Chains A and B, each alone.
Chain A
């Protein structure tokens, strides 16, 4: 298990991280979401040791992450980077060897991964001659080529075409299924919801929610969609807040202890009800609520 515990980081007077704590378990796809400057990249860079933390620890299987353990992590930095003039296969072989692989193993792995992400025919080309999408595929190979024990990917889906998104998703699922903890950040919340076992939401340097999407939903106040009665009927019902009204559909949130049958009765009294049921908020909505709960003053920090 990769345990991130109480990370804190300041840049000058700005607080970038303030007690960031969460775990990523073996075989788990963990989605790390948050606004720009919320602290995702800073957290990942601390995990990889390219940035020093002011406080807190990162540990893997109970021992603090050191240089030897970091060599077993696969990393995709937010700022993509490869040697532009190096050939694809050579570059991947080189990176694998830096991670401690023997030459034959490294050559083998470079062949295997270029094949897996569909750029086998570009192995002999310089990276700078590849399309942006294919460069991203090479970058994914660079994170995977040494068969890492942990994967840390910063925005792996940004800039990918739909086909590449599918490849990336498959590969990440595969790795997780093989028992590797995978943590990745993304702004594409639908994708995160579809893909991830658990999600962590960070806002202004603090974790505001961690858990499976179902768990996050369970923690939220119950919401209902009521279709039928003309708009405005629910405004006067006690314990009920109208979230949105779209034609004859009204979405409401119930305060704790409010009986949903009373809501139904009030709706029927206002007019014929054609649909009534609990609303399962998607991650997008859960995210918006979690972030909105935080006091304003979130600073833009990179």
Chain B
């Protein structure tokens, strides 16, 4: 009879195709895409808003403080911030301007009695600027009174500031790209990693797994599921990454050379695959332990911690301190490297050989994890009822 069966690869491909069709057709896929687009749009809007906020402020001057106007304007110009200066006829007028929001703060009084008054608080940048100007004014006055030339003193007191590494004029953009890459990787691995766990439990809770395993091997079923979901995650990553790149380049938001962005996206894909498969082994094992969706959260919850840690490091420490030692170490540790290393690469602080070393470490770990996950899956997948203890799930099997 027609007893010709499938090869292992054909079976895995069949299972993977089912996963892809089911996922892409599901509402979750589309909603996930839209959600990510919304998050990125929101992020861009916040950056734009914050940028607009910090670069300009307005100050109303009252009384003798008006004499500081040229010095204030000159300092602000030198620092590259926009300062709008107005003069009020009386203290009452100046106060009402602050109250109505026409001005951020008022400066009143004269030497020795200057007062900077805000509504509820004073913008620290504005405070620092005013303090600098007042201080300089006092020093200049004292020097002149003592018979010294303030300008000569200023020249002598000057410190030239330069860097050994050339300053990166695109640093802000690099941070933005690093953040986007980190976020995309985190989101994709989390979403499709937990989809693996859910898929495993779905087959257990619906009992279809016994029917499947009477035909195909547990390993083939697991491999097909992981490959299928990994590809769907990759599809989403490429769509979002490509979309983001196109929009950024088209609107001129991103002036980094296209090759750099494309390189970042390409290495992002490699890191996504490594990270996804690493975490998929954890998610699949966790899913195989329980029999109902309700129990799933308690076993996959802990997996979110190692996922979240490098993400937090990448978005909080790296932008201000790209050469942070802790982050550098993390970028080599498997389970963390897939998030931190691409971020460091996007920031331009990781040479290519470091990325390669981190990738090799991650791949070796992956090979070991696949063996462990396969064992846990085989031991647990047909055990329904109460949760399978890790100790029993990890026991070596005969087959």
Instruction: Give the interface of A toward B (CB within 8 A).
Output: 45, 48-52, 67-73, 75, 77, 79-86, 94-95, 97-101, 142, 147, 149
Query: Which A residues are in CB contact (< 8 Å) with B2?
Result: 100-101, 147
Known: A94-B14, A100-B4. A70 touches B22 (CB 8 A): no
Query: Which B residues are in CB contact (< 8 Å) with A149?
Result: 1, 3
Cβ B208 vs Cβ A81 within 8 A? yes
Cβ B217 vs Cβ A70 within 8 A? no
Number of residue pairs A-B, CB distance < 8 angstroms: 76
B78 at interface, CB cutoff 8 A? no
Closest 8 CB pairs of A and B: A81-B207, A81-B208, A48-B214, A79-B207, A100-B5, A77-B210, A75-B214, A71-B5
Q: Which residue of B lies closest to A99 (CB)?
A: B215
Shortest C-beta distance, A169 to chain B (Å), equals 22
Cβ B214 vs Cβ A73 within 8 A? yes
Cβ B382 vs Cβ A50 within 8 A? yes
Q: Which residue of B lies closest to A79 (CB)?
A: B207
Query: Which A residues are in CB contact (< 8 Å) with B215?
Result: 70-71, 95, 98-99
Identify which of B18, B382, B398 contacts A94 (C-beta below 8 A). B18
Q: In the complex the two chains form, what is the Cα distance from A83 to B201 in whole Å?
A: 12
B129 at interface, CB cutoff 8 A? no
Identify which of A48, A82, A97 contacts B206 (C-beta below 8 A). A82
Cβ A72 vs Cβ B214 within 8 A? no
Cβ A68 vs Cβ B5 within 8 A? yes
Cβ A95 vs Cβ B22 within 8 A? no
User: B195-218: which residues lie under 8 A (CB-CB) from chain A?
Assistant: 202-203, 206-217
B79 at interface, CB cutoff 8 A? no
Known: A67-B5, A86-B22, A149-B1. A95 touches B211 (CB 8 A): yes
Identify which of B14, B208, B398 contacts A83 (C-beta below 8 A). B208
B6 at interface, CB cutoff 8 A? yes
Shortest C-beta distance, B6 to chain A (Å), equals 5
Q: Which residue of A lies closest to B209 (CB)?
A: A81
Chain B binding surface SS class: loop
Cβ B214 vs Cβ A67 within 8 A? no
Cβ B14 vs Cβ A97 within 8 A? yes
Cβ A98 vs Cβ B22 within 8 A? no
Known interface pairs A81-B209, A94-B18, A97-B6; 11 further A-B residue pairs with C-beta atoms within 8 A, sorted by A's residue number: A45-B210, A50-B213, A51-B382, A68-B5, A70-B215, A79-B207, A81-B211, A83-B203, A84-B206, A98-B215, A100-B6
Shortest C-beta distance, A138 to chain B (Å), equals 11
Q: Which residue of A lies closest to B215 (CB)?
A: A98
Q: In the complex the two chains form, what is the Cα distance from A49 to B218 in whole Å?
A: 11
Query: Which B residues are in CB contact (< 8 Å) with A45?
Result: 210
Q: Which residue of B lies closest to A128 (CB)?
A: B206
Query: Which A residues are in CB contact (< 8 Å) with B398?
Result: 52
Cβ A98 vs Cβ B207 within 8 A? no
Query: Which B residues are in CB contact (< 8 Å) with A98?
Result: 6, 11, 14-15, 212, 215-216
Q: Which residue of A lies closest to B210 (CB)?
A: A77
Query: Which A residues are in CB contact (< 8 Å) with B11?
Result: 98
Q: In the complex the two chains form, what is the Cα distance from A82 to B206 in whole Å?
A: 6
Q: In the complex the two chains form, what is the Cα distance from A101 to B14 in whole Å?
A: 11
Shortest C-beta distance, B16 to chain A (Å), equals 12
Cβ A79 vs Cβ B22 within 8 A? no
Q: Which residue of B lies closest to A48 (CB)?
A: B214
Identify which of A67, A95, A99, A142 contacts B217 (C-beta below 8 A). A67
- What is the total number of residues of chain B having a CB less than 8 Å from a CB of chain A? 29
Shortest C-beta distance, B220 to chain A (Å), equals 9
Known: A77-B211, A95-B211. A71 touches B3 (CB 8 A): yes
User: B149-173: which residues lie under 8 A (CB-CB) from chain A?
Assistant: none
Query: Which A residues are in CB contact (< 8 Å) with B209?
Result: 81
Known: A49-B214, A50-B213, A98-B11. A80 touches B207 (CB 8 A): yes
Q: In the complex the two chains form, what is the Cα distance from A99 to B216 in whole Å?
A: 8
Q: In the complex the two chains form, what is the Cα distance from A48 to B217 in whole Å?
A: 12
Q: In the complex the two chains form, what is the Cα distance from A70 to B211 in whole Å?
A: 11
Q: Which residue of B lies closest to A84 (CB)?
A: B206
Q: In the complex the two chains form, what is the Cα distance from A94 to B224 in whole Å?
A: 13
Shortest C-beta distance, A205 to chain B (Å), equals 20
Q: Which residue of B lies closest to A98 (CB)?
A: B215
Q: In the complex the two chains form, what is the Cα distance from A50 to B204 in whole Å?
A: 13
Q: Which residue of A lies closest to B21 (CB)?
A: A90
- A-B residue pairs in contact (CB < 8 Å), sample of 18: A45-B210, A49-B213, A50-B382, A52-B399, A67-B5, A68-B5, A70-B214, A73-B214, A77-B207, A79-B210, A81-B209, A81-B211, A82-B206, A83-B206, A85-B22, A98-B6, A100-B3, A149-B3
Shortest C-beta distance, B202 to chain A (Å), equals 8
Q: In the complex the two chains form, what is the Cα distance from A281 to B115 in whole Å?
A: 112
Cβ A50 vs Cβ B216 within 8 A? no
Query: Which A residues are in CB contact (< 8 Å) with B203?
Result: 83
Residue interface bits B20-63, CB-to-A below 8 A is 1, else 0 = 00100000000000000000000000000000000000000000
Q: In the complex the two chains form, what is the Cα distance from A107 to B108 in whole Å?
A: 86
Shortest C-beta distance, A236 to chain B (Å), equals 56
Shortest C-beta distance, A167 to chain B (Å), equals 20
Q: In the complex the two chains form, what is the Cα distance from A262 to B393 in whole Å?
A: 68
Query: Which A residues are in CB contact (< 8 Å) with B384?
Result: 79
Q: In the complex the two chains form, what is the Cα distance from A79 to B203 in whole Å?
A: 12
Cβ B207 vs Cβ A72 within 8 A? no
Q: Which residue of A lies closest to B220 (CB)?
A: A98
Q: In the complex the two chains form, what is the Cα distance from A94 to B221 in whole Å?
A: 13
Q: Which residue of B lies closest to A148 (CB)?
A: B1
Q: Which residue of B lies closest to A47 (CB)?
A: B214
Q: In the complex the two chains form, what is the Cα distance from A68 to B3 in whole Å?
A: 7
Known: A72-B1, A94-B14, A149-B1. A50 touches B210 (CB 8 A): yes
Q: In the complex the two chains form, what is the Cα distance from A71 to B6 in whole Å?
A: 9
User: B270-294: which residues lie under 8 A (CB-CB) from chain A?
Assistant: none
Cβ B22 vs Cβ A82 within 8 A? no
Shortest C-beta distance, A87 to chain B (Å), equals 10
Q: In the complex the two chains form, what is the Cα distance from A55 to B208 in whole Å?
A: 27
B203, B214, B382 — most chain A CB neighbours (10 Å): B214
Q: In the complex the two chains form, what is the Cα distance from A47 to B15 in whole Å?
A: 24
B4, B15, B215, B384 — most chain A CB neighbours (10 Å): B215
Identify which of A68, A71, A75, A147 contacts B211 (C-beta below 8 A). A75
Q: In the complex the two chains form, what is the Cα distance from A71 to B209 in whole Å?
A: 15
Q: In the complex the two chains form, what is the Cα distance from A101 to B4 in whole Å?
A: 8
